[in-house]
Amino acid sequence: MNVRKIERIEDLRAELALRRRSVESVGFVPTMGALHAGHASLIGRSAGENDLTVVSLFLNPLQFGANEDLDKYPSSEAEDLLVCAASGADIAFCPPPSELYPGGFSTYVNMDGMTAALCGKSRPDHFRGVMTVVGKLFNIVRPDRAYFGEKDAQQLAVVRKMARDLNFGTEIIGCPTVREADGLAMSSRNVYLSPDERAAATCLYRALATAGKRIDRGERDAQAITDLVSRTIGAEPLAELEYAELLDAETLESVGAETESMLLAVAARIGGTRLIDNMMFDRAKPGKNGQRS
């Protein structure tokens, strides 16, 4: 399958205007490139549910803090285009940074509340950068549906709320985390791990799975659950826990009587690499397949 690479906003708009004459639905998968099987599953899902799928490959400088990994973030455009084509994408939008952030750019999307939770504590400007670029991309592509991985559960909750709050008219679809055989969640950042760190990194999944069993047996005490996660990660010498929290998956506030889905989220450094992972559980279903992904 052929994928058409487009670099300019104007060209993408013209192409979409033309294609919309014959297609009913446009699906969109925003990415920062360095595509892996998790991205391929988002693209495949979009291709299966829409007449046309647009993937963006754009390493967004706005969502990286001063001491983060923007400069070393993996990039592989030629391979990414092959993944796009093999997964069913029609258009790959690959703008240079100056196309999305021309000189004088000074308008940003902010959100009160949930962006300060979890990753927002150590990455205070991260979600402003994510929302700004996703908002811009939504305005350019005008997708009917947009696909995000549940691995970035806070990003998914934030984008879902932004789309609702700002009336984008795009349906936000969360897709299950894709894992390596030993449970490690697929991430573009996994390539930073040395062999020892790669082995150690499975502690995130092990911690979530152990706590998940406790939740499935009916445990609802957030402190007991997160203590168990902390102990499992604490037992791994190469890991340094940043947070382990059990929150309402939609609001990212404490679990309450209104909570339908609970998010058990964890962030840890393995050597110099910061990794995140999570699992979601139906609050009302102790002991019976409460775990959703």
- At 226, which amino acid appears? T
Angle between helices 153-165 and 126-141 (to 10 degrees): 50
Neighbouring C-beta atoms of residue 124, cutoff 10 Å: 12
Our CB check for ligand PAF shows the closer of 189 and 206 to be: 189
> C-beta of 56: minimal distance to ligand PAF in Å?
7
Our CB check for ligand PAF shows the closer of 156 and 203 to be: 156
Q: Phi, psi at residue 266, to the nearest 5°?
A: -140, 145
- In the annotation, is 36 catalytic? no
CB 238 within 8 A of CB 256: no
> C-beta of 71: minimal distance to ligand PAF in Å?
16
Our CB check for ligand PAF shows the closer of 154 and 259 to be: 154
199 SS3 class: helix
β-strands 171-175, 261-270: how paired? unpaired
Question: Scanning the structure block, which residue is given the tokens 């979890």?
Answer: 118
Catalytic member of 28, 32, 39, 276? 39
5 SS3 class: strand
> C-beta of 33: minimal distance to ligand PAF in Å?
8
Our CB check for ligand PAF shows the closer of 155 and 190 to be: 155
Question: Which candidate, 89, 77, 18, 2, places its Cα nearest to that of 52?
Answer: 89
**Half-sphere exposure at residue 193, Cβ-oriented, CA atoms within 13 angstroms:** 20
Binding residues for ligand PAF (CB under 6 A): 30-32, 60, 63, 130, 133-134, 152, 155
Catalytic residues: 39
